[in-house]
Amino acid sequence: YVAHTRQWRTLPPMSVGRYGHASICDQDEFVVVGGCKGLDDYLNSVECLNLKTLKWSQLPNLPLGQVFSNVVYVQSQLFVIGGLTSSTTVSRDVYLFDSTEKKWQLRSPMPEENYGRVVPFDSKIFILGGGSKCCMQYDPCTDLWIQLQRPLFKHEDGPAVVWKDKIIVCGGNGTDSIEEYDPQSDKWS
């Protein structure tokens, strides 16, 4: 959507149609990760659309096909976190794309399985909500996880956003609650 003209613009299609994929835009690149072509046909492919040239390119495949992963950029580094690797297997894996080596690096896994949402904050990655009511922080510099104060509500499949130095988690499967997390004090309100 082009806001100043208030019109939709068609972009070139991906090489493989998919759903349940993760996507993110950073500067002039739109990255699409994993997803499904059909029931239990999980994709490990990663495609990148250059928004200046409107040309797709392939990044190296992830080790496993996965759906419903989280993707996030922190300090210009692309991370793929969690997701499902089969209809019954929740992944705790964390992958970092090494843009120099052009390969995925496996990092420390999440301390617990989770369906929470990911946001970057203060050069760290936070995972919040999900069925286990988690709140975890990952430090890319040290490759360490810290488990933090859990929210009151599950917020499974509820979005999370950063706003005024706080993280807001909204709704989710089975709740209409909105909670605010303060990363400085490790408190929910």
pLDDT of residue 115: 79
Nearest CA-CA partner of 32 in 45, 44, 23, 42: 23
Instruction: For residue 158, give the CATH number of its domain.
Output: 2.40.10
Instruction: For residue 46, give the CATH number of its domain.
Output: 2.120.10.80
pLDDT of residue 112: 92
Residue 140 has pLDDT above 90, yes or no: yes
31 and 103 share a domain? Answer: yes
* Domain housing 13: 1-109
189 and 99 share a domain? Answer: no
What 3 state SS string does the chain have? CECCCCECCCCCCCCCCCECCEEEEECCEEEEECCEEECCEECCCEEEEECCCCEEEEECCCCCCCECCEEEEECCEEEEECCEEECCEECCCEEEEECCCCEEEECCCCCCCCCCEEEEECCEEEEEECCCCEEEEEECCCCEEEECCCCCCCCCCCCEEEECCEEEEECCCCCCCEEEEECCCCEEC
pLDDT tens digits for 42-73?
999 999 999 999 999 999 999 999 999 999 99
CA distance 32 to 159: 19
72 and 136 share a domain? Answer: no
Residue 183 has pLDDT above 90, yes or no: yes
Please state the domain count of the chain. Answer: 2
In the chain, what percentage of residues exceed pLDDT 70?
Answer: 100
Considering the entire predicted model, what is its pTM? 0.93
Q: How far is CA 68 from the centre of its chain?
A: 8
pLDDT tens digits for 3-56?
999 999 999 999 999 999 999 999 899 999 999 998 889 999 999 999 999 999
